[in-house]
Amino acid sequence: MAALGVKIWGCRGSISCSSPSIAKYGGNTTCYEILHNGNEKVIVDGGTGIFPLGLAWSQQKPVPRGNIHVFMSHVHWDHIQGLACCPMMHHPEADLTFYSHLDAIESIVQNIFKEPHFPVRWKDLLSKISFKIITPGETLQLGDLKVATLKQVHPSDSLGFKFIQKSQSLAIMTDHELELMDSKTTEATATFLNDVNLVLHDGMFTTEEQIEKKGWGHSAMDKVVSFCEGALGTESGQIIITHHAPYRSDKDLDDHEVRCQKIAKRNHNILMAQENKTYFCK
């Protein structure tokens, strides 16, 4: 059986960017692909990273069979910006399902395909698209893959996802402000993370920035290290910090990676998420 993993197609927060100074960690906004045993494609978020993902999918001949499941953490711009141009949205062979905690998810996605913002209208899209509303805390089953959900601390709420395949599990927790959790959420988040082998967690800010931008819905890197280290039950787990601020250069992120590894108290592997890189549960 293949290991459970995640390919990063975009790990930037707020806005996509491009510059030689960010070539290593990449400039596309949030989009993650879950690599698992089944044929169905599983994606988290539709930031600009979903464009290269969709392009790679559409260039395979024939395009892979199986449904495409898109789990939306929430619908702030940086998590939906890639949908309009994503080749999957325009492909007659694509059968997509969007999952969200928002009752209005269908109209939110439909409104992307509307003049004066976009020339292709919703009714003219060639793909088949459906929607499923998730109640936070609900667990879904996609073949052999189980998907658990968690309500996170973020303006208008966001969802964290945990993907479980046999004894392996990985969590994608983008846009979660650990610093503003109440005791109930702290306990729920720690329990959610306890059995995971790999967690990708929002760490957009430095500690100083987080104090300045309190309430924006993002965590400080140091807090991610201390909280996730305490929550992970697995000694060899990987903690990958993501949703990088758009002004953070490769050099900055390299330095933060070394610094975060130094403040770690246990044996976890602490990394900064890199676009186009694949990480597997060990």
CB atoms within 10 A of CB 21: 13
| Residue whose Cβ sits closest to Zn ion | 76
- Give whichever of 243 and 256 is closer to Zn ion, judged by the CB atom: 243
Instruction: Find, among 167, 168, 173, the residue nearest to 281 by Cα.
Output: 168
Q: Is 76 in the site for Zn ion (CB under 5 A)?
A: yes
Site for Zn ion in 160-179 (CB under 5 A): 175
- Give whichever of 153 and 164 is closer to Zn ion, judged by the CB atom: 153
- Give whichever of 41 and 244 is closer to Zn ion, judged by the CB atom: 244
Q: How far is the CB of 154 from Zn ion (least distance, A)?
A: 6
Do residues 87 and 120 touch, judged by C-beta distance below 8 A? no
- Considering only the stretches 76-84, 165-173, 241-249, 250-258, report the one whose residues sit in contact with Zn ion under the rule CB under 5 A: 76-84
- Considering only the stretches 75-83, 176-184, 201-209, 268-276, report the one whose residues sit in contact with Zn ion under the rule CB under 5 A: 75-83
Do residues 30 and 9 touch, judged by C-beta distance below 8 A? no
Q: How far is CA 61 from CA 57, 58, 65, 99, 176, in A?
A: 9, 8, 11, 27, 38
Over the window 172 to 211, marking each residue x when it contacts Zn ion by CB under 5 A and - when it does not, the resulting string is: ---x------------------------------------
- Give whichever of 73 and 238 is closer to Zn ion, judged by the CB atom: 73
Instruction: Find, among 106, 129, 111, the residue nearest to 121 by Cα.
Output: 111
Instruction: Find, among 279, 120, 117, the residue nearest to 198 by Cα.
Output: 279
Q: How far is CA 13 from CA 17, 82, 223, in A?
A: 10, 13, 18
Q: How far is the CB of 95 from Zn ion (least distance, A)?
A: 27
Q: Enumerate binding residues for Zn ion (CB under 5 A).
A: 76, 175
